[in-house]
Amino acid sequence: MKDALGQHQSILVLGGTSEIGLAITELLATRHANRVILAGRNMAALEEAAVGLRGKTNATVSTMAWDARDYSGTDSAVGEAFAKEGRIDMVLVAVGLLGDQAKDEVDLDRGSEVMSVNYVGAATACLAATKRLKEQGQGTLVVLSSVAAVRVRASNFIYGSSKAALDGFCQGLADSLEGSGVEVVIVRPGFVTTKMTAGMKVPPLSTGADAVAKATVAGLARRSAVVWSPPAIRWVSMVLRSLPRPIFRRLPF
């Protein structure tokens, strides 16, 4: 169940090898979360993540196979997880693919994979989770969006637009769930140093996965609909969003 401070007892992580996803899960599991399922496509990496969580927390951790691009498989995989657990209090959608814009613009298999994983895959996972959470009458859906979704930039518009689509989807979903007992939390991190961004130049205001985890857990306690990490990134993206195009276009990123 969910408690008054936004702690959740059982968690399903879709994208169970995500560094941010694992940091959030670990923080919840060092307190009251006691059951965790990590779902993803790389079973060896999932198992390694599970071993790590078991070492650091008292939670019972299991893994399951799930590929975000197998849309019909998503419904049955999520259904199976709920059936196995009886109830799941929080579903964390952490799956994401950054891609490489220059290559993705010309290799369309790559470009379309980024778009389909980040939007269709993640949003389908949200739908699969939502219908079960609604039936339970209580639950939380936490979705990792990005500041890149707030205003799509020329340098990574494939990734950015797919996150923008997911972000918009979640806002509408959240409104549609008013009165259902299900709450949606949209997390919009800035640049986070994880394997996703490994090797990239680290910009100002960058943080680690732990900081995103802390901000998310505090957001759950406060019942925030949107969590920004670091908090200052919210104001930066508000400014970016309102810049006139000729200026925005010339920004150095």
Partner 1 sequence: MSEQAPAEQSLVWGWGRRPVSRSRLIRLRSGEQADHLWSSAAASSQALARGMGRSYGDAASLAGGVLAETSGMNRVLSLDAASKTLRAEAGASLDKIIKAALPLGLFVPVTPGTRQVSLGGAIAADIHGKNHHVEGSFGRHVRSVTLSGPTGTSTINPATDPELFWATVGGMGLTGVVVQAEIAMIEVETSFIRVDTERARNLDEAMSLMQQGDAQYRYSVAWIDCLARGGNLGRAVLTRGDHASIDELSAKARNNPLAFHPRRGPAAPGWVPSGLLNRFSVAAFNEAWYRKAPKRELGRITPLSSFFHPLDGVRDWNRLYGPRGFLQYQFVVPFGAEDVLRRSIERLSKGRFASFLAVLKRFGDASPAPLSFPMPGWTLALDIPISSGELGPLLDSLDEDITAAGGRTYLAKDSRLPRELLARQYPRLEEWRTARQKADPEGMICSDLCRRLDLAGHH
Residue pair 97/17 in contact by the 8 Å Cβ criterion: no
Partner whose footprint covers residue 101, from ligand NAP, partner 1, none (CB < 5 to 8 Å by kind): none
Q: Between residue 204 and residue 223, which ones bind partner 1 under the rule CB under 8 A?
A: 214, 217-218, 221-223
Nearer of residues 86 and 246 to partner 1, judged by Cβ: 86
Asked if 174 interacts with ligand NAP (CB under 6 A), we say no
Q: Which is nearer to ligand NAP, 1 or 200 (CB)?
A: 200
HEC sequence for 109-168: HHHHHHHHHHHHHHHHHHHHHHHHHHHHCCEEEEEECCHHHCCCCHHHHHHHHHHHHHHH
Q: Which is nearer to ligand NAP, 29 or 68 (CB)?
A: 68
Helix-, strand-, coil-residue percentages of the chain, each rounded to 5: 55, 20, 30
| By the rule CB under 8 A, 154 interacts with partner 1 | no
Site for ligand NAP in 59-78 (CB under 6 A): 67-69
CB 186 within 8 Å of CB 141: no
94 is in the binding site of which of partner 1, ligand NAP, none (Cβ under 5 to 8 A by kind)? ligand NAP
- Contact 213/31 with Cβ under 8 angstroms? no
Q: Give the active site residues.
A: 159
Applying CB under 6 A, the residues found at the interface with ligand NAP are 15, 17-21, 40-42, 45, 67-69, 94-97, 117, 121, 144, 146, 189, 191-192, 194-197
